[in-house]
Structure 1
Amino acid sequence: RAKDARRHTIGAYYRLQPEVSHYHAALNEAGVIVVSARVHKGWDEPVNGIIRRHDEPDGGHAFAVVGYDDRGFWVQNSWGRSWGEGGLALWTYEDWIENIWDAWVFRVALPTPQIFGLRAQQAKRPPEEAKRRPKVPRARIAGHFVHVDDGDYAETGRYWSTAFDVEETARLVAENDRYDHLLLYVHGGLNSPEDSAERIDRLRDVFKANGIYPFHVMYDTGLAEEMKDVIRRKCAETEERVGGFTDWTDRFIEGLLRRPGTLLWEEMKRDAQDAFAPDGAATDALERFLAHLKKNGRAVKLHLVGHSTGAVALGALLRTLRRRRLEIETCSLMAPACTLEWYERNYLPVLNPGRGLRLKEMTVYNLRDRLERDDHVAQIYRKSLLYLVSNAFERERGAPLLGMERFSRNAPVAGGQPRIHYSDGMSGRVTRSTTHGGFDNDVHTMNHILRRILGGPPVRPFTKEELDY
């Protein structure tokens, strides 16, 4: 349906002024006017094909005007062929001028699905505007995401979501035998909806070409920009008070950010967890997919991918599903921003399960500590975001995070799981990300995730060009 809609779009539409000459011109140009008006008892039974004027009103009505002559407009009604003359009747000009409410005329566009939803870019733009990427239209990623706000469906905004929208997607996917895998991909909390939309758009086609249906979770905390503003403001304050950049500068920034950063970080984690609470919209979305797959007898394999705070959200999902008899084939965490305690409470039990939920394989992709220390936040804090989280945002200074090499090497395992791979940024077939945020832009990481999902080489691997965004 979405593809058909892209081929049948409205080219232009105009509201008409209540001027008879405007109506005549519109009918000559477009052939049909869509009208609403006050109607009366004379509409019930036209006489000899003519709607007789009557003083007793009978509410409002919508219909089409399809022609005119010197007496009035010809109406095509929706009350069947027995009304008027084969469903048509004459609406006199005198009646029209007294009772008309509104009128619109439109033309269907020539099919151009290749540019559906896009806006023309001016040839010459100021340099600062030229740097801005156009926002991805919702139509390009429709059916591949759920947008969650405070645990509920985000039903307004550019990237809205509703239960009905997800229900239709789940039904169509379950009825399609092209897909052997369902991938639930959870983005980091500092990604704006626009950034998440671009990532969804860039990753979609490769996943689908490999028989994987990608379904992404945006959880709009509303805190991303606020968190970034706090970091920039405090970092600027530090630069003024301290001067050059040293490890002591980073310590000073951590101290300034501790109070406001901790409050925002904890709220961000709560929002991530609310998405996958038992009554959360992301949980509801997944349940709809599982229900339709079961109804259609489809043995589709379920996979999880989370980046940064996505590990917090997925931990909440595993906790919610703990008692379900369900198998998750793979779980991939990139630079997980969850604590070791969170991992031990929510991931470890399902790696070594009893009778409930089972996570069959789990892999973590982390940076070497050297790269964590070479990363930066806002160009001023001279370490990775995870260092800032560990040293400033978590209540315990130096909180052990699963995504940091210095702590993850001590993470407990169950049956050899999870496997943890460390990127040095230069070598290896598994991962070569050089920054905290760069894992899902790294062709080695993304193709390793593909191979694990498929259990072999992909039909279509990711390329560097596709992940350069």
Structure 2
Amino acid sequence: MTTTNKLVTKDGRKVNVRPDTLDFRDQMFVPTLVEVPTRIDLEDYKRHEVPILDQGTEGACTGFGLAANVNYLLRKRKIVPDRTSVSPFMLYHLAKRYDEWPGENYEGSSARGAMKGWHKHGVCASDLCDNSANVSEEALREAPKRSLGAYSRVNHKDLVAMHSAIAEVGILYATAAVHTGWENVGGDGVIKKADQIIGGHAFAIVAYDEEGLWIQNSWGPGWGKGGFARISYDDWLANGSDIWVARLGVPMNLRAAESIAVGSSSAVSHAGAYSNLEMRRHIISIGNDGLLSPGGTFGTSRKDVENIFARDFTALTKNWKKKRILLYAHGGLVDEGAAVQRVSEYRAQLLQAEIYPVSFIWHTDFFTSLTNILQDAVRRRRSEGFLDDAKDFMLDRLDDALEPVARIPGKAIWSEMKGNALAATSNEAGGARIAVECLNKLPKEVEIHIVGHSAGAIFHAPLIDMLVQKGRSIKTCTLWAPACTVKLFKQSYLPSIENGKIGRFALFTLNEKAEQDDHCAHIYNKSLLYLVSNAFEKEPHIPLFRDGEPLLGMEKCINADSRLRDLFGSQNADWVRAPNDQKAKQANYSTSRHHTDFDDDEATVRATLVRMLGTEQVEGKFSFKRTKSSMRDKRQFLTEQS
């Protein structure tokens, strides 16, 4: 078997599909005991009149092959069959967003990427999305009508499983390496096995007999047997790459903001396409080096950012009495799912209050790395069973022992995360910098509000500098348990607070007792800020000799700094320590008891909203679902108590 790298047939058709990479998360198809026919005739399939597509010279076969599957499933559906032809180009564009390779500026994609795109967004009618790079708003709105339900990978080397899957569903989505035999298929439709491989291709498997598998191609009706051909079993076993089988989902429309929040919850299996579209209006996805992240459910391009400010914000706020925009940056322990869930839960109340939220999702999920680091540090510092038998008075010493061991891996990851946060604005192509440029085109009357939780305060530091340099004022800035150093705060925040460019500043922190009573993964027995200050920042804690790096979110660091004490004695800066019992004054009320509580503590969120609106109180209720991380934390706690 020989291979060429031309990736194009002799008549100019591109064959550039990429095999799926290994992913143990794939759900594998398991054959049932349903009787499998000895053959499924091609003529039985043809009675459904599935259109034969022609991709021409476009390198979009992943979209065209999957479109054949969707078209068949829609026509075969027992309840309300649909003869609409779907857009292969939408499926192809989404495949590039969800496959394993960075960016979208390449041709070819993977079958898994196409399945993920269909799963997350659905697919629109063919006339709503052409071969241009952008999927239109209308296409995204219409796509959930044709959603994907259950789907599985089929072992492409298991012919029994393949026959069973075809018998159950009627069609498979396949990719294979194609050879020169595909260029010379006669009217009988037989593909003659050849040795010279040209490239990779995606198509549909629609029937089988004792000789091989019948496929529906996307090279027009003039190819093979009216657009169909048969690949022998030997050929398939030598060159087949990937097989997927799918069922249609139920079309759904969710319009209420509260329903969209539930649809985005980590407690459900996935965020449906119906909620994804609404949430994309409020999300800017940031990846490595602070650049926009184009892949995944909420992948963001420069055009997407421009649309948020120029189109979505303008359209939604046109009848508002006062236009406000909130820039929110989540904390470092948060993964994408939890971050999206939070902004979806804020969305209803904020829009009702005439505040348009924009959330920077900057792909941190430091929690998983932190837990692994601490578990490894414990293993290095104790004999088996030591921690279980440790007395309370020894826990402080345990923390002292963990800090230097956790410092080397922890500081490296923390520094990388901080670098990405700062680069989002400092990098010329940074996602936050692009957002500020777009925001600056809005009228000066638009109020700008900023909220950051934990490491979100690091993310916002250069963003505030850039806004001020462009002559914009910030109406309010609220930081919840900020993980930024006091030094960074004095460089980036304090000058704008003192000169009035930040109209009103509020700091929410835990009190010292709560900070000491907190924990990290039930291993380190103080808050995350203690661990960052003592182990992950520039100046490590040395017991009895030196405290760690001062952080703005720690009560003891503020009390030790005369300039900060003076700041919070001034008229335009407030400091709220939690938990407290100031229920009568909403702006100062917080019931947070842990570092991670602030973003879903109703009292804290309400206090922040009151400050943005400049009122004494607000009505309405915030409803927060548990994130995966909080449920994991709860399970761990319950396990320890049992």
TM-score (norm 1): 0.68
Task: Select 1:168's aligned residue among 291, 298, 304.
Answer: 304
Residue type at the aligned position of 1:210:
L
Residue type at the aligned position of 1:413:
L
Is residue 273 from structure 1 mapped to residue 432 from structure 2 by the alignment? no
Helix, strand or coil at the partner of 2:363: strand
How many residues align? The count is 433
Q: 1: distance between equivalents of 2:331 and 2:173?
A: 49
Task: Select 2:509's aligned residue among 330, 343, 366.
Answer: 366
Q: Deviations over 1:13-40 (max 9, x none)?
A: 6577898xx8899499637886865446
Q: Deviations over 1:261-296 (max 9, x none)?
A: 554564355234312334669982223434555678
Task: Report how far residue 363 of structure 1 moved.
Answer: 0.8
Residue type at the aligned position of 2:346:
V
What's the counterpart of residue 187 of structure 1? 330
- The verdict on how the C-alpha distance between 1:382 and 1:178 changes in structure 2, with shifts beyond 3 A counting, is same
Is residue 450 from structure 1 mapped to residue 622 from structure 2 by the alignment? no
- The verdict on how the C-alpha distance between 1:182 and 1:223 changes in structure 2, with shifts beyond 3 A counting, is farther
- The verdict on how the C-alpha distance between 1:297 and 1:113 changes in structure 2, with shifts beyond 3 A counting, is farther
Helix, strand or coil at the partner of 2:506: strand
Is residue 420 from structure 1 mapped to residue 575 from structure 2 by the alignment? yes
- The verdict on how the C-alpha distance between 1:7 and 1:209 changes in structure 2, with shifts beyond 3 A counting, is farther
Helix, strand or coil at the partner of 1:364: strand
Taking the TM superposition and a 5 Å limit, the aligned residue runs for 1:398-413 are 399-409=549-559, 410=562, 411=564, 412-413=566-567
Task: Report how far residue 349 of structure 1 moved.
Answer: 1.6
What's the counterpart of residue 285 of structure 2? 146
Task: Report how far residue 346 of structure 1 moved.
Answer: 1.6
- Judge conservation of contact 2:476–2:502 (CA < 8 Å) in 1: yes
Helix, strand or coil at the partner of 1:277: helix
Taking the TM superposition and a 5 Å limit, the aligned residue runs for 1:62-101 are 78=218, 83=222, 88=226, 91=229
Q: Deviations over 1:388-446 (max 9, x none)?
A: 55556643516543223344254043973331112243333321222333222321101
Residue type at the aligned position of 1:435:
H
Q: 2: distance between equivalents of 1:263 and 1:397?
A: 18
Task: Select 1:462's aligned residue among 622, 629, 632.
Answer: 622
- Judge conservation of contact 1:254–1:392 (CA < 8 Å) in 2: no
Higher strand share: 1
Task: Report how far residue 365 of structure 1 moved.
Answer: 0.7
- Judge conservation of contact 1:183–1:213 (CA < 8 Å) in 2: yes
- Judge conservation of contact 2:289–2:419 (CA < 8 Å) in 1: yes
Structure 2 residues without counterparts, runs of 5 or longer: 1-120, 122-139, 255-265, 318-322, 541-545, 632-642
Task: Report how far residue 447 of structure 1 moved.
Answer: 1.0
Q: 2: distance between equivalents of 1:253 and 1:16?
A: 52
RMSD value over aligned CA atoms?
5.3
Helix, strand or coil at the partner of 1:329: strand
Q: Deviations over 1:83-127 (max 9, x none)?
A: 479x93675x6x867976559685541416599xxxxxxxxxxxx
Is residue 308 from structure 1 mapped to residue 457 from structure 2 by the alignment? no
Q: 2: distance between equivalents of 1:381 and 1:89?
A: 64
Task: Report how far residue 6 of structure 1 moved.
Answer: 7.8
Residue type at the aligned position of 2:391:
G
Task: Select 1:198's aligned residue among 335, 338, 345.
Answer: 338
Is residue 351 from structure 1 mapped to residue 497 from structure 2 by the alignment? yes
Structure 1 residues without counterparts, runs of 5 or longer: 116-132
- The verdict on how the C-alpha distance between 1:106 and 1:284 changes in structure 2, with shifts beyond 3 A counting, is same
Q: 1: distance between equivalents of 2:405 and 2:165?
A: 63
Q: Deviations over 1:182-205 (max 9, x none)?
A: 44433333x152xx6335314413
Task: Report how far residue 376 of structure 1 moved.
Answer: 4.7
Residue type at the aligned position of 2:553:
G
Task: Report how far residue 452 of structure 1 moved.
Answer: 2.6
Q: 1: distance between equivalents of 2:378 and 2:289?
A: 25
Helix, strand or coil at the partner of 2:459: helix
What's the counterpart of residue 284 of structure 1? 430
TM-score (norm 2): 0.52
